[in-house]
Structure formats: structure tokens, C-alpha cells
Amino acid sequence: MKKIYILIFYSISIFILILVNTIDIYSEPIILKYADKLVGANDESSNSRTLIGNVQLQQGNVNVNCESATQYILLNKYRLTDNVVITQNNLILKSQHIIYDGNSYLATAVSGVTIDDGNTHLKANKGDYSTKTSIANFYDNVVLQDDSVIIYCNYINHNRKTNDSKAINNVLIKGKNTNVFLFGDTVVNISNTNYSLVSGNPFLYRIDTLTQNIQLDTNGNSCENYTFDTLSIKSDTMEAFRSNTNEYYHFFRNVELIKNNISAKANNVYFYKHKQYFVLYDEPVIWYGNSQLHADSIIVYFDDNDIKRIQAVNNAIIVIENDTNNYNRKDQLYGNEINIFFETDSLKIIKSNGNAKSVYFMLNNNEADGLVENNAEKIKITISSTGIDDIELVNQIQGYYHPEQFINGVEKNYYLEEYKFSDNKPIRTEFNILQYIKQ
């Protein structure tokens, strides 16, 4: 039994020696280069001493300057206070209070901290930085800036070697070269490719125009009022690809889009900012005024932020509610492809190409007057502010008129077989965007 105890003792001793030697090999001692004054302390556990005035330390390529410090000699650790500056190559880390552990190469700040590293600037209420891995973890009121974006969040993990970052909790990304704001619970930003992945209630808000109006309040004092022309998109997950010449976004699952009078839903949406168009896939629906459009895929084209054309491809159907007195009287147009054209942001022409079919509920002096069914190769509908002005048919196959007495109360029996309708129109999320603009 005694031999067993001796064997265990020697095994533990060897393990401790290996561990100590490993630490000695891989961790450099922190060298005291200068201090105005050294004061010893009776702390046998750490063998500490106090350094006062113009303290200068070094560990490898890491240099430290501060006004005062407490050195824990056996622990290879320093408590740094007052105007602490740590430099490593191009990096400059500043705080008023830092614990620097020479064994773990970790600088920990709890009273405000900043990092400047070339074009990257990072600040927060507290955080830590590893001089070995070049990874920073910052917490509370975090702000990170680089050449392309500004990121606000409650926590960020930032790798200064790659400039990649992961932000968590109340994240906002502002593009420096764009007028786009991205919100989300978690954002991964890959700097060298200008790529961002946003998850957890992502929300995009783009300001197309911002008009400042000066008004007088009830006391005759001038006050500012702002009018916005905006685009908002939310989804389950979002990707952003940013460059000066080709900026686009990918939204997937439960996508909702609102732009002026247009609202849309789909499960897959691409937004090409510079080319000014959207592509919607996977059960897309678009609402515009009293009409809604369904198809396998829908493309929305803009010019100077004004809508110019909507192209619906495959199994396209548009439903228009023109009769406010009877909810069931819905005009319908179907085709292999439907194109909708706009002028000054108002719907003007609807064209259906290929296997075109329509149901049109007639009104005479604002009174219901039957319906007309048409089938043709192409159908063109011209619209004014008062409703449908004209219907043109190319290569008409057949057409029917049904008097009002036969359809009254059974209007749904005459709907097109391809009829679709949704009441789940997206609702705009309202918030004070000015607070983010002025940040």
C-alpha cells in the first residue's frame, strides 16, 4: 500500500512539473521597463508590488503604458490604472482600468474600453482582448466601425486579423455608403467580402427620400418635421452583400415587404439595390391599392425609387376589388405572364399574355350589372382613377355575358378556377428612424 501511495505521489508530481513547464514555454514574462517609483507589499501568495508614475511594460510585441499598476510577480499579472494604453503592431487599446494576465495574454477592462486598429474602431462599456489570438469580446453599448459599416449592439466578438465580427442582442448595422439600416438579434459580418448574415427577427429599413419641413407650433416657435419615402422588409433570416457597384439582399422565410403603396409577402426575396428591382419566389403575393397579384415568381422594377413595372411569371392572377358595395364582386385576370405598368406611381395598364382569362363584374351608374367572361391569347386592361376604362382582347376564343339576376348572391360560382385571394396584408412597422439617423 505504501508503494502505491509513493507511485501516486510521483505521478502527480510529474504531471505538475509538465504543466508548469508547459506554461513557462508558452507564456512570456511581462517585463517591467520603467516606473518612477516601486513600492513593495506583504502579499506572500502573489508577491505583489506597486508601480507609480510613467509605468512601461512589455510582453513580446505588446507594449503597455499607464500611470500606476500593481504587479503580481508569481502570477505574471498586472492591475493597470489611469490612462492605460496597450499597443500591438497597429492596434491601440485604451481604458482607465485593465487587468492584464501574461499567462493567458488577456487584457480585461471594466470601466470603458476602445480599440483603434487601422480603419476599424471599437468601443464599449467593458470587454476583453487577447493579444495572442487578436480576438476582442466587448459588452454593453458596443459600437464597431470599419470602412463599410457601423454596428451597434450589446455584445460583439471581433477578430482583428480577419475583421470578421459576430454581434448579438439589439443589433443595428448602418451602411456607410448606403441609406440602409439592418436590425436583428444576431448579425455575423464578414468584412473582406462585405457580407452580413442576420438572424432573429431581421428587419431592413431603407430611406429613399428624406424631406425636412419647418413648421410653427401653437406658440409660434419653429419646429422640424420630416417626411420619409421608405422601404421596409422583414423575414426570418437575411443576407446582405454590399459593394459600391453591386449591393443586394436575400431574405428567406416569412418575408414581408412594404414600399409606398405596395405590400408583398413571399418566402424567398432578392432585393438588388443598385439595379432597382425585387425578385419574389415561393408563394409570392403583392398588394397594390385595391388589387393583389399572385404568381410562381414576381419581379418589381423601380426607377428613381418609383415603381415602373411588375412582372408576374407562371400561373399569374390579379384580383381587383372595384365594387365597394359587394365584397364578392372581384374582377380577375389570369395568364401565363402578367405585366403591370405604372405612371407617376399610379397603375395604368395590365397585360396578360398566354392563356389569358378574365372575369369582369359590370357596373352601370354605380349599380351592379352582371359580369363578362373572356378567354383570349392576350388581354390588355387600361385603368384610370375611376376604375377600368377599357379591355382589349387579342385572338379572343370566347366570351360570355351573364345578367345580374343570374349572378346576384352566387358571384363566387363564376370565379376563375385559378382564383386566389389573401387577407393577410403586411402592416408597416412604425418606429422613430431619426434616432438611428442621428447616431
Each residue's pLDDT tens digit, 70-105: 999 888 999 999 999 999 988 999 999 999 999 999
Instruction: Give CA separation, 253 vs 11, 173, 266, 271, 279, in Å.
Output: 58, 21, 7, 15, 14
In 3D, which of 78, 65, 99 has the Cα closest to residue 30?
78
pLDDT band at 5 (very low <50, low <70, confident <90, very high): very low
For residues 21 and 73, what is the distance between their CA atoms, to the nearest angstrom? 17
Most confident by average pLDDT, 100-114, 166-180, 353-367, 420-434? 100-114
pLDDT band at 322 (very low <50, low <70, confident <90, very high): confident
Question: Given a cut of 60, is residue 437 above it in pLDDT?
Answer: no
Lowest mean pLDDT among 217-221, 246-250, 404-408: 217-221
Kindly state the average pLDDT of the residues 4-24.
Answer: 42
Lowest mean pLDDT among 96-105, 122-131, 174-183: 174-183
Where do the DSSP E strands lie in 18-163? 31-34, 37-40, 48-59, 62-72, 77-88, 91-101, 106-109, 113-117, 120-124, 126-130, 135-145, 149-159
Helix, strand, coil percentages for the chain (3-state, nearest 5): 10, 65, 25
All three cell numbers of 325, joined, read 358595395
More confident residue, 10 or 64: 64
Kindly state the average pLDDT of the residues 418-436.
Answer: 76
The predicted pLDDT at position 439 comes to 52
pLDDT band at 292 (very low <50, low <70, confident <90, very high): very high
pLDDT band at 218 (very low <50, low <70, confident <90, very high): low
Kindly state the average pLDDT of the residues 217-246.
Answer: 74
List the chain domain ranges. 203-437
All three cell numbers of 368, joined, read 351592379
The predicted pLDDT at position 209 comes to 56
Kindly state the average pLDDT of the residues 52-73.
Answer: 93
Residue 146, judged by CB atoms within 10 A of its CB (0-12, 13-18, 19+), counts as: buried
Most confident by average pLDDT, 32-41, 137-146, 392-401? 137-146
Q: What is the DSSP letter of 41?
A: -
Grid cell 508530481 — which residue?
13
pLDDT band at 229 (very low <50, low <70, confident <90, very high): low
More confident residue, 322 or 378: 378
The pLDDT tens digits for 349-406 are 999 998 899 998 988 888 888 999 999 999 998 887 776 788 888 888 878 899 989 9
The predicted pLDDT at position 414 comes to 92
The predicted pLDDT at position 41 comes to 60
The predicted pLDDT at position 66 comes to 94
**Max Cα-Cα span within the chain:** 113
Lowest mean pLDDT among 63-77, 162-176, 404-418: 162-176
Kindly state the average pLDDT of the residues 52-80.
Answer: 92
In 3D, which of 351, 360, 338 has the Cα closest to residue 284?
338
Kindly state the average pLDDT of the residues 227-247.
Answer: 80
The predicted pLDDT at position 120 comes to 85
Q: Which segments of 221-302 does DSSP mark as H helices, in order?
A: none
Q: Which segments of 276-416 does DSSP mark as H helices, in order?
A: 404-407
Question: Given a cut of 60, is residue 248 above it in pLDDT?
Answer: yes
For residues 113 and 236, what is the distance between their CA atoms, to the nearest angstrom? 33
In 3D, which of 304, 308, 249, 258 has the Cα closest to residue 285?
258
For residues 330 and 220, what is the distance between their CA atoms, to the nearest angstrom? 50
Enter the pTM of the model: 0.76
For residues 87 and 320, what is the distance between their CA atoms, to the nearest angstrom? 66
Q: What is the mean pLDDT of the chain?
A: 83
**Count of alpha carbons within 13 Å of 414, Cβ hemisphere only?**
25
For residues 259 and 262, what is the distance between their CA atoms, to the nearest angstrom? 5
The predicted pLDDT at position 26 comes to 56
For residues 195 and 201, what is the distance between their CA atoms, to the nearest angstrom? 18
The predicted pLDDT at position 14 comes to 41
The predicted pLDDT at position 1 comes to 47
pLDDT band at 254 (very low <50, low <70, confident <90, very high): very high
**Residue 264: other Cβ atoms inside 10 A:** 25
The predicted pLDDT at position 84 comes to 94
Q: Which residues pair with 291 in a beta bridge?
A: 288, 320
**What CATH number matches the domain at 203-437, 1.20.970.10, 3.40.50.12500, 2.40.30.10, 2.60.450.10?**
2.60.450.10
